[in-house]
Structure 1
Amino acid sequence: MMRAGWLTALVWLLALALPAQAVEIEEWETNEGLRVLFVAAPDLPMVDLRLTFDGGASRDGDENGLASLTSSALRHGTAEMDADALAERFESVGAQFSTDSLRDMAIVSLRSLTEPDWLDSALDTLTDVLAAPAFPGSDFERARRQALQGLQRERQDPGSVASRRFYELMYGDHPYANWPGGERETLEALEPGDARAFYERFYTTGNGALAITGGLSREEAEAIAARISAALPQGPAAEPLPAVELPEEPVEERVDFPSEQAHIYMGAPTLRRGDEDHYALTLANHAFGGGGFISRLFREIRSTRGLAYSVSSRLQPMAVEGPFQIGMQTGVDQAGEAVTALREELTRWHADGIDADELDASRENVVNSFPLSLASNSDIVGVLGMMAFYDLPLDYLDRYVERMEAVELDALNARLRERIDPDAMVTVIVGGQE
């Protein structure tokens, strides 16, 4: 336990002390076909690993919640060690092990100091888990109970209710409509064998990628990648997700809920990772609702009209078209007025675009905040994992600022009018009771 605490303290101190530096990415593929991205960080006596697999909730099929339960089950141990023994083995060498499941991807992460004995032990434990996860029935049942309890908590939270319904209406029969936490009926029907089959199908060398950063040489990183790759199941990449059917007309739904605040989501599928319009739309959205205090939505909806406790917008690019999403909270008695005002601002943004001053302010904020996204090992390995998963070019980071600087005002507003349709938005309002 003391080693784990020392590791955490050391990470924070070094992250605060080290300036942001250029990121030089090296790439290779293991013998088993696992793609690897590596960034050396010689000033840090630690290593961060992130495995990403095309095995998120969009791969659940009819078994909603299976991806999430499979991710949780990897922390239950192996045939040789239960969940407590697994946690103890990582903690004894100051390592941090975690798993996660999103809509697009499944994630397995490891952080360790580079002291040879400690790192070797942490890697041995990780590869034991990857080579032979146990999926024991008792732990699986406990994870199922926790998932069901999570669903119950979500039903009591108007924000979660609104988000779930928002995705259902936006995506219809598309896999992105799957709620990552699952459904009660499907969760209750799942068995450990289902998680094992999901793991063996989607956690494979051909369906994943490995990001590494830390105080390692290229030779040491290759050796680590080879150990991890050899432990994983071998198999092909998953079939691409189906295309998203974009809405052609507005959809609105009001959901009764016993709350004093109304939670409002408005948006539509818009952007996929790697889309060249990403840079223009990011700057346009920053001016509209993504820039905090300087954004139009904050200024007009919250400050001037006093209609929202919080209001913002964001773009969430994914493997296929992820949402442009506006989120707002307001009193239930003024929800209708707030939605009308929001639509007015959206229509004006679409028709008029943004002006030169808004572009300059947005670009300055986005460009100046970019180094903060690479300020620590965990930040870098997270970006590397994203790049590897979505197959972004290796110059993505090097040219990010350049591409933001190259966006011209007329082109930005043209992209905005082409990609955002205020007359085809999905709107969900949760709060208040008839």
Structure 2
Amino acid sequence: MTATLATHSASPTTVKTLSPHSGVEAWHVESDVVPLIAVAFTFEGGSAHDPADKPGVAQMLARLLDEGAGELNSDAFQEHLAARAIELSFNAGNDAVGGSLKTLVKHADEAFELLRLALAEPRFDQDAIERVRAQTIAGLRYQQNDPGVMATRRFFEEGFAGHPYGRSTSGTIESVSAITRDDLLAMHRALITRGRIKVAVVGAISTERLSALIDKTFGVLPEATPLTAIEPVALGKLGSQFVVDLDVPQSVIRFGTPGIAWRDPGFIPAYILNHILGGGAFTSRLFQEVREKRGLAYSVGTSLVSYRAASMTWGYTATKNERVGEALKVISDEMARLREDGPSDEELRKAKDYLIGSYALGFDTSTKIAHTLVQIAFEGLGIDYIGHRNGLVGAVTQADIRTAAERILGEGKMLTVIAGRPTGL
């Protein structure tokens, strides 16, 4: 199967679905513009599947995958990467463990072999575990004085209380200290499997050669066994405010309202609404009202957050302790005005024009294309999504925006967390 990777301002590029013998779902964009290959991949299941009493396992797993594999210890593995200028990295989020690989075409065989080793035969040597553990704990200790991190952590604890999304993906000092090699092995067996992976590859490599490399790299992984389902959850405690007491002159604010998932048919109107509200950088209403007109904050914005089992509209800003109440009122009032009156026709037109015209900027490198494709595959949006996405944006009406505002802004209640020592609330 093929589809067209195209935007209104970009040249068409063919996206192919590969059919390797291993059954791994892989999308391929063949391009010989530069002699590089960029690979992005993601496995279903992430930090939400950490043991309830040991958050941080999935993230620690991701940090250890390139710390030695097969017969290569950590130093030898890194030396093999460096000798061929191969870039390999792994990451973990709530819903997935993923990573990326970039290599020159002439080193493709060795690069894919190192990726295979990292995924199929990680060593989890005790010295590497202890080194990564120490680095993680040092980071967690440092973050205890970071108002942005502390506000975010408390926001998730309150908004998703009692749910896996309410736990920190990086864990706590106590939980990371308790993680064992057996915990890492169990998480590896559960997540790094052939049936859970999506792969996207962009670069100067033929379909035939790539199919063989994918079979060799991912085909050796075990079959997937069922994961415990993550129960759907809505953002909770709307209308509540929480303060994390930190002795800092400026409070950091995190706020949220309900959201719409990327897989939801109402996502595109919500995406445009968010752009108008706080996602449009210098042009958004919140930027204009909070920063430009009143000088309350250096930055303010919102974004749509879409997880497998939850979604929300997430906002951020920071202001002097004595102006927190004023900033929150301006934000709340602007949300109410947008909910009640909607955007003007001119606002809607400009937002759509920008979102359509700027979409091609996300495809200016092979790595960006690969990561976008693998995310689309992970969300199940279809191989042709990029080709018709701008059409979806262009078709949004004022009525669609009104419906999205009702779902996202609702009664105007927010969950708010402030890290600092705010006054005037």
Bin the TM-score by the shorter chain.
over 0.9
Structure 1 length-normalised TM: 0.91
Q: Which residue of 2 aligns with 1:202?
A: 191
Q: Does 1:348 align with 2:371?
A: no
Deviation string for 1:241-272 (max 9, x for gaps)? 21113437412112211111111111134122
Identity of aligned residues (%): 28
CA separation in 1, counterparts of 2:237 and 2:149?
A: 26
After TM superposition, the structure 1 = structure 2 runs for residues 105-184 of structure 1, keeping only pairs within 5 Å, are 105-115=96-106, 118-184=107-173
**Alignment check: 8 A CA contact 1:287 1:295 kept:** yes
Shift of 1:112: 0.7
Q: Does 1:81 align with 2:69?
A: no
Shift of 1:194: 0.9
Match of 1:38 among 28, 49, 74: 28
Q: Which residue of 1 aligns with 2:239?
A: 250
Q: Which residue of 2 aligns with 1:52?
A: 42
**Alignment check: 8 A CA contact 2:46 2:191 kept:** no
Shift of 1:311: 0.9
CA separation in 1, counterparts of 2:111 and 2:283?
A: 46
Residue range with higher mean Cα deviation, 190-199 or 233-242: 233-242
Residue range with higher mean Cα deviation, 283-292 or 315-324: 315-324
Classify the secondary structure of the residue corresponding to 2:42: strand
Paired letter, 1:108: G
Q: 1:245 to 1:414 in 2, by over 3 A?
A: closer
Q: Does 1:268 align with 2:261?
A: no
After TM superposition, the structure 1 = structure 2 runs for residues 27-426 of structure 1, keeping only pairs within 5 Å, are 27-62=17-52, 63-115=54-106, 118-236=107-225, 238-247=227-236, 249-426=238-415
Shift of 1:298: 0.9
CA separation in 1, counterparts of 2:323 and 2:408?
A: 30
Classify the secondary structure of the residue corresponding to 1:194: helix
Structure 1: gaps (5+ residues): 1-18
Q: 1:58 to 1:23 in 2, by over 3 A?
A: farther
Structure 2: gaps (5+ residues): 1-8
Residue range with higher mean Cα deviation, 330-339 or 34-43: 34-43
**Alignment check: 8 A CA contact 2:259 2:407 kept:** no
Shift of 1:34: 2.1
Shift of 1:129: 2.1
CA separation in 1, counterparts of 2:234 and 2:311?
A: 12
**Alignment check: 8 A CA contact 2:40 2:100 kept:** yes
**Alignment check: 8 A CA contact 1:204 1:235 kept:** yes
Classify the secondary structure of the residue corresponding to 1:243: coil
CA separation in 1, counterparts of 2:324 and 2:110?
A: 56
Deviation string for 1:138-189 (max 9, x for gaps)? 1101111111111111111100001111111111122211211101221111
Paired letter, 1:137: Q
Structure 2 length-normalised TM: 0.93
Classify the secondary structure of the residue corresponding to 1:107: strand
Shift of 1:273: 2.4
Q: How many residues are paired up?
A: 414
